[in-house]
Amino acid sequence: MSRMKIGVLISGRGSNLEALIKATQAADYPAEIVLVISNRPGAKGLEHAHAGGIASQVIDHTAYADRATFEQALDKALRAKGVELVCLAGFMRILNADFVNAWRNRLINVHPSLLPAYKGLHTHQRVIEDGARLTGCTVHFVRPETDDGPIIIQAAVPVLTDDTEETLAARVLAYEHKVYPEAVRLIAEGATRVRGHRVQIPAATWAVEGLINPEIPGDVD
């Protein structure tokens, strides 16, 4: 089986990288990670790459005169490994339109909210402050606009009355670890079709039951 070659960009602990590595260890998973790049020396996620026997590289953004030359170095390293899909996994750098467009529909990200709601930072704090009952996470194709692009997969989780930013973040992160490998699998199997701002997945099995929070006793008509 030919496996799609994945490059993963990280900046920190790499928990989503770890989830992707675990998924790729399955014999029937249709993708493999061929390169992990961190823009920060000493990022803990590099340890996951080393433990998994995966090639890794540090491309320190502070060593470059500007964002464009930094991204040229990223692009060169990814192409040298034959990367077909780039996964942002806690990569804390805004990417220029030139880089994003060069990898159009081959660059994905996971965001800790149900996009298009709560783009940007401090999502869990804002969700709690707004009194939202549901939140979640989204894997999407990246576009030049921040936290924008066709949505591949989402997972919803309830916001509990006593939630703190930390407890809600942990609940959402657990689902990030589930949906990110699934999104990669769908892409690698050729199951996704980008049509405008929407992703079509013709062969997918769709969940038909909703999630209500708080639960309502009895049947819902």
What residues are labeled active site? 111
Count the neighbouring beta carbons within 10 Å of the beta carbon of residue 51: 10
CA-CA distance, 213 to 195, in Å (whole number)? 32
Rounded to whole angstroms, what are the CA distances from 119 to 11, 20, 43, 93, 149?
Answer: 19, 23, 25, 15, 12
Q: CA-CA distance, 10 to 172, in Å (whole number)?
A: 19
Question: Half-sphere exposure (CA, 13 Å, Cβ side) for 144?
Answer: 6
> Do residues 7 and 37 lie in contact, with contact meaning Cβ atoms separated by under 8 Å?
yes
Cα 127 to Cα 117: distance, rounded to the nearest angstrom: 9
* Joined tokens for residue 8: 């993963």
Whether 61 and 70 have beta carbons less than 8 Å apart is answered as yes
